[in-house]
Chain A
Amino acid sequence: MSAKNIKDAEKIALKELSEKAPKVFQALKAGKATKTLREYKTKKGVDLYEVKVVEMRKVKTKEKELEIPNITIVTINKKTGEKKIAVSG
């Protein structure tokens, strides 16, 4: 399924997240994560849509508490509809 516009891309990306990264999808629904959308062209000239979801997660070590950003990026090729999911870490 190819995306006709950024709204289309968002729908496709959210469906992809619900299947392959359900916890990130749930965090987004619960308002615990932020979502950004953009479209861009790579250096090679490939046109892409990107949906990025960022959730800050706390890590407790013995001495301190740290925050790790949990970043999930769904990229959709405008021409072919190919989807790639990237998860930080």
Chain B
Amino acid sequence: MSKETVMIGTWPTPEKWKHVRRRIGVADLINGEFTKEKLTKIVSIFGIQKIGLIVTCRDRLRKKFGSDDYSTEIEPRLIALALEQRAVILDVCTDNYKEVDKKIKQMQSLMKIVVSAMTKYAATPAASARRLLFRFVTHIQIIGGHDVVPFAVLPNAVDADTLYTDDVYADFTGDDVIDVPIARIPDGGSLDLLIKQLDGKCVPKAGAFGLGNAKREYAGPIMDIFDDAGDVYWSLPMTNDDFSVGDVDVNYVYFILHGLDTDTSIWWGEEPIYPEAFKANLANSQGVILSGSCYGAYVIGKTPADSICLRFLRSGAKAFVGCTGTHYSTPGTETTYNGPLFHRLFFEHLMSGKKPSEAFFRAKRDYAPEADTSVEEKILHEFVFYGRL
């Protein structure tokens, strides 16, 4: 057996927790360094052949929030989340996204080796190998912002943006398409935000809310996906003064406005006037939010005080989907390519009953074959999912 090890924080399936505690010991389960032998033992005990990954850096979270708050507020919630998501905690502390990616892929390989050695999959024909590849790591949940677990970076020939994405981590086949659902809970330096998102208790009101740049007519057809559940407002004539905090606390929230990375506390309406259409003080919702605004999900160096996205997450939003860079629309009511196609796919999957992270995963998988230009390739990767899986 190899000496290759993977850090695992805890193990899933609460129903077997007592059983495992007797057999192995809690400390080993939570903080142990796992060898293939140890992983084999665990897999054997549970009969589980696939796991989720929670990727974070405990040391960085501890330094950021202090040892006391980390121990009492964050660590217990990480463990609870791991149990709930049937996941192990992969503790990776580095600024190099390639090292994070390597650890994730190592975990996948290790699980594959362990499970294959123990099951009939060892004799699986090559034709089924690709299908089986996804049996071992089922999903990835990142905890923390860019300074805890870095975003991956992809080449971008479209504009001056650094193309930040989480897609790289969930692409096991190297074809630029995510193979398993992936989500991130950015912390924004806010313990309140982290607690709210880790707890994940969202009870949004029924309904939908849409606010669009009046020059982005396709927001109308996108809002039609929600049937009669809500209306789309246009800016202009609407500005942030026309809305109150409660207006966006509904199930589905959709924005297509202008945004900037230098000021993420405001989104603007139609060009060339650029009225202040929506501001961070209004961002209070427990629903699912998709923003097609430029830099809508850009959170590097931001806090809930200066980011609409982080303010939504701190208020308990179930999910926030947006771009890390410049977003690209279509003219008119066209929703068959560029950003609007992604918006439509996401909301259609959501309305079909899928949970937000699954709708996002399906939207990415459906969008990828349609991405025929470098603009669309960028759109594919710059959309990220914030929230719980």
Contact = CB atoms under 8 A, between A and B. Distances in A.
A89 B375 contact: no
10 contacts: A20-B331, A42-B377, A43-B176, A69-B326, A77-B372, A86-B328, A87-B331, A88-B159, A89-B293, A89-B327
A73 B260 contact: no
B338 A89 contact: no
Given A66-B260, A84-B338, 8 more contacts: A23-B272, A42-B373, A43-B176, A43-B377, A48-B372, A57-B272, A59-B258, A68-B274
A14 to B, nearest CB: 15
A63 B346 CA distance: 36
Q: Which 10 A-B pairs have the closest CB atoms?
A: A86-B328, A59-B274, A75-B373, A86-B375, A89-B258, A20-B331, A87-B329, A88-B326, A86-B338, A85-B331
Contact of B330 (A42, A57, A86): A86
B327 A88 contact: yes
B268 interface: yes
A24 B130 CA distance: 47
A46 interface: yes
Contacts of B331: 20-21, 85, 87
B374 A40 contact: yes
B276 interface: yes
A14 B213 CA distance: 24
Interface in A40-89: 40, 42-44, 46, 48, 50, 57, 59-61, 66, 68-71, 73, 75, 77, 84-89
Interface string B209-220: 000010010000
Nearest to A38: B157
Interface in B342-389: 372-375, 377
Contacts of A73: 158, 328, 375
B372 A59 contact: no
B59 interface: no
Contacts of A89: 213, 216, 257-259, 271, 293-294, 326-327, 329
Nearest to A64: B263
A76 B63 CA distance: 51
A77 B372 CA distance: 9
Interface residues of A, number: 28
Given A21-B331, A85-B330, A86-B338, A66 B263 contact: yes
Contacts of B338: 84, 86
User: By CB atoms of chain B within 10 A, which of A21, A71, A88 has the most?
Assistant: A88
B326 A71 contact: yes
Contacts of B262: 66
B214 to A, nearest CB: 12
B337 interface: yes
Contacts of B276: 61
Contact of B372 (A42, A60, A61): A42
Interface string B246-265: 00000000000111101100
A40 B157 CA distance: 10
Contact of A46 (B258, B266, B372): B372
Given A20-B331, A61-B263, A71 B159 contact: yes
Contact of B373 (A20, A84, A88): A84
A70 B326 CA distance: 10
B375 A20 contact: no
A40 B330 CA distance: 21
B194 to A, nearest CB: 29
A58 B188 CA distance: 29
